[in-house]
Chains A and B, each alone.
Chain A
């Protein structure tokens, strides 16, 4: 089953990248290990968002809310309860998916823009509660110094943990992408009315997609806590959600791997630009404008198009 889903070339490429990532930590400075770990976490959030936006056509404007719920759930459970670690870790995505189901059920009855706006209001409600409930969540300060078992609290440990979990999750997302469920979801993106006319219960399908996507966002939230050891209400704030949206756009939201690239670019830029100037937001705004005008297919989408057409030409030439 697995072999049939992957083409040999992309399998080799992915394997090579994975191998390189595996051997990096001992040879690069700790700072870069940390940054890469952050990229893994962010890439997972972006991929989970793209499942509903790029492949599903839904205006999921407040995906960060589910990411934050996953992170806060695990943080709260680790600090306030004495349940075993693995239970806390599992609770994160489950909670996120439950919230996703609840909010999704509300929103999926509505058409596009209203879907987005209702989601923003519900997500902001969660943010407001977390922001103000100082005694529980630490309010504006967030929570810090969350303890992790030693194997994953070290810089390398967190790196490997994030890498492996992310790799597993992305593989699963890929399988879903290639499955009939994924194909139908993309058809819904292209033409929801036609899907209704061919017997698909569009709302139920979208809701399932949302639950799956928010589950993965919750996993990403757990990884965030592992890598950073803390949690803040910013994760739940709508501006961050729009940033994740931009990552998908930047990478190319009609492609599969685009959001990973988008996340990598954003995190790297944010870190390195942040060293030289405090006006990262300005740079991000300019990048976004350049994207809108010149690269609406995203970086990866653009590359695929270029290589795609050359590949086709090569085949045609070769066959003549």
Chain B
């Protein structure tokens, strides 16, 4: 479904992504891991169009999306949540998700119809699936951190994506919240036939949930494979878990 081929991105002199490769098959749960600064968020930004690659390609459903702007990539079926809660702080929780659904339904530019009558069912369904139904009327900026992360995911779901990309979905969460979020992700993958790509620091989460893991180090893909493969790979153990030298 998604293929990232030999992708490069530099900022002035700093090579953030240095020839990374990634494959995501339909229906999979794929994780990208790597130490801080490995380039995970940059890689995601390259996939979803916030950044343009210097070299390399991003191919989604056999189409080269490397040079498309973010909104067009979204329309192709990729939705994304961000590492830092990137919500609409002054709008209500309901409105946050509704705007996303309206965009997916191509109704964003409707001028003379009250918005509150549109996309109500779909929005409520999404809010229920992430557990925010009871807070639908609250102002998004006033939500607790964990709820804002849930809202993050809800907004991404509003786009009815084929591929959902989650940037560190459990960042800053307690063990209970983390477990709940992982449950949620697995549930969403099953019920909505979603393919999910995420990056994480929490190794337990990754090895228990993911079907395919890609290891990123200093912008370069070390290996991608099933959890056991990755766990037993000596390369990974050297780079990631042990030494400080580049591989």
| CB–CB B74/A183 < 8 A | no
Which stretch (A184-192, A221-229, A271-279) binds chain B? A184-192
Instruction: Please report whether the interface of chain A is mostly helix, strand, loop or mixed according to DSSP.
Output: helix
Q: Is A254 an interface residue (CB 8 A)?
A: yes
Given contact pairs A1-B114, A197-B48, A184 touches B103 in the complex (Cβ within 8 A): yes
> At the interface, yes or no: A84 with Cβ under 8 Å from chain B?
no
B197 within 8 A of A: no
Cβ–Cβ contact B108 & A184, under 8 A: yes
Decide if B115 touches A200 in the complex (CB within 8 Å).
no
Contacts of B114 in A (CB 8 A): 1, 4-5, 175, 178-179
Could you tell me which residues of chain B, from 109 to 136, have a CB within 8 Å of some CB in chain A? 109-118
Question: Which stretch, A15-23, A44-52, A144-152, A201-209, touches the partner chain B?
Answer: A201-209
- A195–B79 Cα gap in the complex (Å)? 11
> Using a Cβ–Cβ cut-off of 8 Å, how many residues does chain A contribute to the interface with B?
30
* Residues on the B chain within 8 Å of A175, using CB: 111-112, 114
**Bound form: Cα–Cα A201–B103 in Å:** 10
- Assess the B48–A194 pair: CB atoms within 8 A: no
Is residue A198 contacting chain B, with contact meaning CB distance below 8 A? Answer: yes
Q: Is B75 an interface residue (CB 8 A)?
A: yes
Indicate if the CB atoms of B89 and A198 lie closer than 8 Å. no
- How far is it, in angstroms, between the C-alpha of A1 and the C-alpha of B113 when the chains are bound? 7
| Contact status B118-A180, CB under 8 Å | yes
Q: How large is the interface on B (under 10, 10 to 19, 20 to 34, 35 or more residues)?
A: 35 or more
Using a CB-CB cutoff of 8 Å, which residues 58-100 of chain A contact chain B? none
Determine whether the beta carbon of A198 is less than 8 Å from that of B91: no
A1, A194, A205: which contacts B108 (Cβ < 8 A)?
Answer: A205
Whole-angstrom distance between the Cβ of A297 and the nearest chain B Cβ: 12
Please measure, in the bound complex, the distance between the C-alpha atom of A187 and the C-alpha atom of B108, giving whole angstroms: 11
Check if A183 sits within 8 Å of B95, measured CB to CB. yes
> Is A169 an interface position by the 8 A CB rule?
no
Residues of A within 8 A of B170 (CB): none
**Is B195 in contact with chain A by the CB < 8 A criterion?**
no
* B99 close to A (CB within 8 Å): yes
The answer, yes or no, to whether A176 is at the interface (CB within 8 Å) is: yes
A180-B118, A183-B115, A208-B109 given; name 12 further pairs at CB < 8 Å.
Answer: A178-B115, A180-B109, A181-B108, A183-B95, A186-B91, A190-B89, A191-B87, A191-B88, A193-B50, A197-B79, A198-B74, A199-B100
